[in-house]
Amino acid sequence: MDCLFCKIANKEIPSDLIYEDKYVVAFKDINPQAPVHFLVVPKVHIRSLDYLNEDQNYLISHIFKLIPSLTKEQGVENGYRVVNNCGPEGGQTVDHIHFHVLGKREMLWPPG
Ligand code: AMP
Ligand code: ZN
């Protein structure tokens, strides 16, 4: 399958990896929108949040439990934002589910 994030997870394409375990990789976004901006990506190919199955719930809780330790490791101290872009109007450009984590700057709301 020709999927960028599958290739990054399989190390076919290099990335600035900050974390890896059995289920996920986390790597720095190539076009950062904040001083800290990394992506948390499950190793299994899931197209988007719309395609998440009931038996993949563990993945989401795993990812959300992981994020606070990763932000701490990245030196984020005063809060951060977790973003999932889903589908074309949601701003998704890579069709493999991923969670953006942004920190070290004040975030705007509404996000625009
Ligand atoms: P989204 O628009 O939510 O699908 O997010 C895709 C993100 O992947 C964007 O923020 C891109 O900057 C990022 N991205 C694209 N290619 C790479 C890459 N090779 N390494 C790291 N991040 C990437
Ligand atoms: Zn994929």
pTM exceeds 0.95 for this model: yes
Going by CA atoms, what residue is nearest to atom 15 of ligand 1?
30
Please tell me the distance between residue 29's alpha carbon and the centre of ligand 1 in angstroms. Answer: 6
Nearby residues for ligand 2 (ion, Cβ within 5 Å): 3, 5-6, 45, 96
Residue 52 placed within a domain: yes
Residue 54 belongs to a domain: yes
**With contact defined as beta carbons under 8 Å apart, do 53 and 89 qualify?**
no
| Total structural domains within the chain | 1
Q: Do the domain assignments include residue 63?
A: yes
Ligand 1 midpoint to CA 35 (Å): 15
Residue 110 lies in a domain: no
Please state the atom number of ligand 1 nearest to the C-alpha of residue 27.
21
- The answer to whether residue 109 sits within a structural domain is no
What percentage of the chain exceeds 70 in pLDDT? 100
- Dmax (CA) of the chain: 39
Distance, CA of 51 to CA of 73 (rounded, Å): 30
Q: Residue 29: is it exposed, middle or buried by C-beta count within 10 angstroms (0-12/13-18/19+)? A: middle
Q: Tokens standing for 78?
A: 């005063």
pLDDT for the residue 78: 95
93-103 per-position pLDDT tens digit: 999 999 999 99
Residue 40, token pair as written in the block: 């948390």
Question: Is 56 a domain residue?
Answer: yes
The domain of 92 spans 4-103
Q: Is 96 a catalytic residue?
A: no
20 has pLDDT over 90: yes
Tokens of 16: 């600035």
Domain of 12: which CATH number? 3.30.428.10
Catalytic residue among 45, 62, 96, 98: 98
Both tokens assigned to 55: 């038996």
**Is any atom of ligand 1 closer than 6 Å to the C-beta of 85?**
yes
Alpha helices in 1-112 (DSSP H): 4-9, 57-73
Please check whether residue 101 is in contact with residue 73, taking contact to mean a CB–CB distance below 8 angstroms: no
| Whole-angstrom distance, CA of residue 93 vs CA of residue 80 | 22
**Percent of the chain with pLDDT strictly greater than 90:** 97
